[in-house]
Amino acid sequence: MANYFDRLRLFSGDEWMDQMRPDETDEIEAYMDDDDEPFHDDDLDLKVPEVIGILPIRNTVVYPGTVTHLAVGRERSKALLKNTEPNETVIGLLTQRNPDTDRPEFGDLYSVGTTASVLKTIKMPQGSINIVVHGIARFRLVERVATRPYLKARIKMLHVRTKMTKQLQALAVSVRHSANRMIALSPNIPEEASVLLENIEDPSSLADFLAANLSMDLPQRQALLVELDPGKRLETISVVLAHQLEVLELSHKIQGRVRESIDKTQREYFLQEQLKAIQTELGQQDARTEELRELHENIAKAKMPKSVEEEALRELDRLNKIPAASPEYSVIRTYLDWVCELPWSVQTQDQLDIARAERILNRDHYDLTKIKKRILEFLAVRKLNPTGKSPILCFIGPPGVGKTSLGKSIARSMGRKFVRISLGGIRDEADIRGHRRTYIGALPGRILQELRKCGSRNPVFMLDEMDKIGADFRGDPSSALLEVLDPEQNNTFTDHYLDQPFDLSTVMFIGTANYAEPIPPALQDRMGIIELPGYTTQEKLNIAKKYLVPRQLKEHGLKEVHLTIKEEALATIIASYTREAGVRNLERNIAAICRAVATEIARRDKRRRTIGKKDLASILGPTQFESELALRSGIPGVATGLAYTPVGGELLFIESAAMPGKGHLQLTGQIGNVMKESAQAAFSVIKANAKRLDIDVKQFGRFDYHIHVPAGAVPKDGPSAGVAMFTSLVSLLLHKPTRPEVAMTGEITLRGLVLPIGGLKEKLLAAKEAGIKKVILPARNRKDIADIRPETIKGLDLVFVENTDDVLKAALDGMT
């Protein structure tokens, strides 16, 4: 039977019973005792007197049939032990209501307790005594007898009467089952405990045994002592057991999972160590360590923002763990290279010396006074308020008018680097913002690519061809651009590849476009638009003399003494070899001349050369453009219109012809819908006014009419050719030619009114260059003339008209 209690104490290991922590206990301590004497379950062997000594205990309840270890320290308790004969004297154990009470009186104790015999007394070195008690039976306190030298009381034994019912049996089976399950799950309880459990047949003993060994709070323990009905006790225990079993199962599951993950990490660690060992054997490890060390250094050197650095270090850590041969290795490697090479904190010092900037702008560009002034104002504001959000500039104008070179000059005058990307044809948001790293071969977008290339975070960044951005199913690049150009947002511009914000607020963006209209309005709003219209022949001549020729000479290694290009030659190039609003082709032709002369000089054929008008054909070939004016006019049915295209103003020769038919109107040429409609309108105005205009109405039934708008690679559209189409048709119908030196522009209404048009300056420039003398313009455009420089319209006769009658008067020979 000693074994029984050995087992029992084992059974009450930490998980089972935690009601007595040594630091809290004074009198009581429960532990396993191997030296117990055999114990007889027959508690009635001991005769219980009516008055017995009471030992107050704290933190625990001793149940009948169990053996408990108690530590005794208080004087009155020691006095009681002195009067106690081991194995003979019966004492009463009563639990304190409050474990903190140091000198408990009867009022501080519960009134139901357990009689017990002291099995053993062990004197401890510090004067305290340890005792082993064996609980015998329940009693109730009846009368307090004495409090000195120890508590004495009259008691009444409480007898448990067990009536074996089916329900009680079932309850016992169920509780036993749960307890067995608990033993199986608790690694600290030996398997034999379940054998022990099977041996306790009496339900009351079973309840007491389990109550002693389950973890519960004191009031609950006491309640299980007070309750005499074993069925009720077993019910309570079954609930406690179920609860503890659940906790145990859960913790078992968690432990299992933890173990699993530890196993996995250990396995990985082990494999990695092996891999390292293999790599070292193969001599790879050193190279790799060196590579990783270098990357680490690069990360630190790049001085990136904290969050980015953390991410980079995380990736580096990942890199460290994957074999160099895996595809992911190179993905992470490329990413880290990108991150390290971005100019996170490299920037040029701004030089905002306005006088110097002005010098540079003047040195690089002829005239453009208004534009230079705008740029200088812009720089001045930057100087006074460097952190302020200045507007983004956008240069609008035809090709070759100096948009790019102005951008370069701005960069030079501020001491910044210059980068340029063309947005023409960009349809994919990823072009701007990059692809996510999950894509194979992903890269950052153009913005970050250029910044890395230029190696500075504050360059002048030119976005060319903003009017040619497209949008399709791959997303709208303009929305990404909006973010780039928004000073409120672009300090946290997030590229998909980088997946970390990059501050673009110090970049100075400049947009360029041929037209303002196609630029999405939201983008236009973000920018300060500066228009650069085309140059007149005179301006081109000046630019050529002062800028283009000296520049080309220098580029071709020629000195002024080597080559002189006469003004007449330059004028011929402008008139007959180029047709443009800017000076790009002019510069190209000058470059061609310089090349030819450089060859001659290098071959020592010649020492110096002067190029006149007649030399051009041998170098540049036959002339490319001829004035069509003389060819075209003089015939009824031809009228000269003025068009505005992306390359500047242009003459538009509109031809009409009649052929037998039924009065249909046909239109051909590279023209758009709006122009077609305005031809219809012109035709209707003529029909409606035929009589007044002296036109034979019968013609309309016998002829078909055809309007053709020839020439020009550039498609044309817009209503402004209405007047010219009208004139061309009237000229045909009346058999009167238009005056050769007259050009016209204007939209017409069905009532014959002439409405204003756009692109006035470009159109007048083109007219003047083509040798037109008189231009017919809508009266309502008169106010726009004030914006045009007087030189541009010098020598042009401007006729402002209100309606179609005015037009005919000015355009047709012999009309009054």
Token pair in block for residue 85: 């004969």
State how far the Cα of 122 lies from the Cα of 660, in Å rounded to an integer: 140
Neighbours of 660 (CB within 10 A): 7
Q: Which string of DSSP letters, residue by residue, matches 112-135? A: EEEEEEEEEEEE-TTS-EEEEEEE
Beta 747-748 vs 703-709: how paired, if at all? unpaired
**763 catalytic, yes or no?**
yes
Crossing angle for the helix pair 327-341 and 306-321, to the nearest 10 degrees: 150
Residues that bind ligand ADP (CB under 6 A): 365-368, 399-405, 543, 547, 582-584, 587
The alpha carbon of 343 is separated from its chain's Cα centroid by a whole number of angstroms, namely 19
Q: How far apart are CA 565 and CA 614, in angstroms?
A: 12
The residue type at 229: D
Q: Measured in Å, how far apart are the chain's first and last C-alpha atoms?
A: 143
Task: Please state the closest distance from residue 514 (CB atom) to ligand ADP, in A.
Answer: 9
CB of 369 or CB of 668, closer to ligand ADP: 369
Shortest separation between residue 512's beta carbon and ligand ADP, angstroms? 6
Please state the closest distance from residue 459 (CB atom) to ligand ADP, in A. 17
Task: Indicate the SS3 state at residue 8.
Answer: helix
The DSSP letter of residue 109 is B
Indicate if 720 belongs to the active site.
Answer: yes
Catalytic residue among 372, 417, 716, 763: 763
CA distance 678 to 520: 27
Q: Which residues contact 542 (CB under 8 A, 6 or more apart)?
A: 366, 367
What is the rounded distance in angstroms from the CA atom of residue 162 to the CA atom of residue 125?
Answer: 45
**Residue 756 to residue 644: CA distance in whole angstroms:** 14
Catalytic residue among 720, 731, 761, 768: 720
Q: What gap in Å lies between CA 218 and CA 247, rounded to an integer?
A: 20
Q: CB-wise, 366 or 683, nearer to ligand ADP?
A: 366
CB of 583 to ligand ADP, least distance (A): 5
Closest separation in Å from C-beta 404 to ligand ADP: 3
Give Cα 145 distance to the centre of its chain.
84
Amino acid at 562: H
Please give the sequence-ordered ranges of beta strands (E in DSSP) within 570-637, or none if there are none. Answer: 609-611
Residue 322 and residue 436 in contact, taking contact as beta carbons nearer than 8 Å: no
In degrees and rounded to multiples of 5, residue 542 shows phi and psi of -65, -45
DSSP, res 762:
H
Select 464 or 655, whichever has its Cβ closest to ligand ADP. Answer: 464
State how far the Cα of 432 lies from the Cα of 446, in Å rounded to an integer. 5
Contact predicate 362/372, CB 8 Å? yes
302-311: list long-range contacts, CB under 8 Å, 24+ apart.
302/339, 302/340, 302/341, 302/342, 302/344, 302/345, 303/344, 303/345, 304/339, 304/342, 304/344, 304/345, 305/344, 305/500, 305/501, 307/500, 307/501, 308/339, 308/344, 308/500, 308/501, 311/339, 311/499, 311/500
φ, ψ at 68 (rounded to 5°): -135, 150
Q: Cα–Cα distance between 702 and 690 in angstroms, integer? A: 15
Strand partners, 777: 800
Closer to ligand ADP by Cβ: residue 309 or 367: 367
User: How many residues are present in the chain?
Assistant: 816
Q: Which residue is nearest to ligand ADP (CB)?
A: 402
As a whole number of angstroms, the distance between CA 443 and CA 335 comes to 9
Q: Least Å distance between CB 339 and ligand ADP? A: 33
Where does 147-229 show beta strands of DSSP type E? 152-158
Among all residues, which ones are annotated catalytic? Answer: 720, 763
